[in-house]
């Protein structure tokens, strides 16, 4: 390709980096602590972890601080760090009914087994600025936490597990049968195998779960608005902590190594089976952290890409999976800032030649410009 390396100017490059550091450090406020970012900007931290495909809250908070809040740049740094770490093994498949739920709702059914658990959400409040936060003090925070703890003292704890809402549809044979898991091939690892098309569903889900939230939302929204045939209903949306198990290196038995916070969405859409039987089909989304928009958009696109006839970009597997990686798309966009002297000079010469401009006139115009 027609790029050239920039030679010289090392001092200027170093000073540009120092100026960038100055932009973040200038002012009179105290430096941000990693703990503050992790605890108070947790939604941004969760988003960075998901797009970087690495569950590391402390490192994601560090990347956010270094990137001055740019989530794409932070995800880029965290994924680059991920690439330097050895792969020790793979976790075992986990049934999400074992999730320790802190939020669980269904838009399909009003009354569900175990009840609707609203959990932490702004869904039912007005999106108005809270000017009290401008003067928030440590004492106010402490008083709020103590008041909340006192109010929750007599409450019954949540059950350890909840049944799946979509199982109600399966019991009535209203949901398309799930694939034969035993006969399915092993999950694809897209970090070690290049994505090819048509991609398996496991490869598609992996690609989407580390995709950029805004990119997934854009394509899913286009489908929701009519550029597609999917009119989804959220069967169940879950937020909670999912156990992670690996095989013990000595015994070979499943071993619990910890929990990760995840968001899971299952959306239901109607279709007619080849035998003419009307049924519901399922779209699935799961991502690191608390990111409900991403999980729902992912589930909508998962269902959209199951369409037998592609009618819109959101149903085209190759189009969707090739354009949702925020780090890759950001890199391609920002590479245009690099020197393109050779390619542009070639275009310039051809344009002048097409217009009949002689090299002598170009030189003469250049001399007049310098004068």
What pLDDT score was predicted for residue 370? 55
Three-state SS for 39? helix
Per-residue pLDDT, 1: 40
Q: Where are the domains of the chain?
A: 10-82, 96-329
User: Are residues 283 and 205 in contact, defined by beta-carbon separation less than 8 angstroms?
Assistant: no
Q: What is the rounded CA–CA span in Å between residue 273 and residue 192? A: 35
Residues 6+ apart with CB under 8 A from 257: 91, 244, 245, 246
Query: Where do we find the tokens 């019991």?
Result: 171
pLDDT in tens, 207-234: 999 999 999 999 999 998 888 777 889 9
Looking at residue 2, its pLDDT comes to 46
Residue 366 is predicted with a pLDDT of: 62
Q: Is the peptide bond before 196 cis (omega within 30 degrees of 0)?
A: no
Cβ distance 213 to 293 under 8 Å?
yes
Tokens of residue 329, six digits: 């798309």
Phi/psi of residue 124, each to 5°?
-110, 20
Task: For the chain, give the percent of residues with pLDDT over 70.
Answer: 90
Tokens of 260: 């990760």
* DSSP type of residue 194: -
> Is residue 367 predicted with pLDDT exceeding 80?
no
DSSP state letters, 118-175: --S-STTS-----GGGGG--HHHHHHHHHHHHHHTTTSPPPPS----THHHHHHTT-B
Mean pLDDT confidence for 197-202: 89
Supply the pLDDT for residue 6.
53
Mean pLDDT score, 295-319: 91
239 or 345, which is more confident? 239
pLDDT in tens, 275-285: 667 888 899 99
pTM above 0.95, yes or no: no
Q: Could you report the per-residue pLDDT of 57-101, keeping only the tens digit for each?
A: 999 999 999 999 999 999 999 999 999 999 888 889 888 998 999
- Lowest-confidence pick of 65-69, 162-166, 299-303: 162-166
Predicted pLDDT at 292 = 95
Q: What is the per-residue pLDDT for 340?
A: 82
Share the mean pLDDT of the chain. Answer: 86
The rounded Cα 107 to chain-centroid distance in angstroms is: 23
């Amino acid at each position: 390709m027609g790029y050239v390396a920039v030679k010289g100017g090392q001092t200027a490059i170093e000073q540009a980096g120092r100026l960038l550091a100055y932009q973040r450090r200038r002012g009179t406020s105290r430096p941000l602590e990693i703990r503050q970012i992790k605890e108070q900007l947790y939604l941004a931290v969760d988003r960075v972890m998901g797009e970087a495909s690495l569950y590391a809250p402390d490192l994601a908070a560090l990347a956010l601080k270094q990137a001055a809040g740019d989530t794409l740049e932070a995800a880029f740094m965290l994924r680059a760090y991920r690439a330097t770490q050895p792969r020790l093994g793979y976790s075992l498949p986990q049934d999400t009914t074992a999730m320790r739920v802190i939020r669980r709702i269904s838009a399909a059914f009003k009354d569900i087994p175990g009840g609707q658990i609203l959990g932490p959400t702004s869904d039912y409040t007005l999106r108005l600025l809270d000017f009290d936060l401008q003067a928030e003090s440590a004492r106010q925070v402490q008083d709020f936490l103590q008041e909340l703890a006192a109010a929750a003292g007599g409450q019954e704890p949540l059950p350890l597990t909840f049944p799946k809402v979509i199982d109600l549809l399966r019991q009535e044979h209203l949901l398309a049968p799930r694939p034969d898991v035993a006969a399915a091939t092993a999950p694809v690892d897209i970090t070690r195998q290049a994505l090819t098309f048509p991609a398996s569903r496991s490869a598609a889900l992996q690609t989407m779960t580390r995709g950029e939230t805004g990119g997934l939302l854009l394509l899913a929204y286009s489908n929701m608005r009519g550029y597609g045939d999917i009119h989804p209903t959220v069967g169940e949306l879950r937020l909670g902590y999912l156990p992670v198990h690996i095989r013990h290196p000595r015994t070979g038995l499943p071993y619990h190594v910890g929990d990760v916070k995840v968001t899971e969405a299952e959306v239901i859409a109607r279709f007619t089976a080849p035998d003419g039987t009307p049924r519901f089909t399922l779209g699935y989304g799961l991502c690191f952290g608390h990111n409900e928009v991403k999980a729902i958009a992912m589930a909508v696109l998962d269902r959209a890409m199951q369409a037998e006839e592609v009618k819109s970009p959101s149903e085209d597997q190759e189009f969707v999976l090739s354009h949702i990686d925020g780090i890759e798309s950001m890199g391609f966009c920002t590479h245009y800032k690099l020197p393109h002297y050779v390619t542009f000079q070639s275009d310039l010469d051809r344009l002048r030649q097409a217009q009949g401009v002689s090299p002598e006139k170009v030189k003469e115009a250049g001399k007049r410009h310098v004068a």
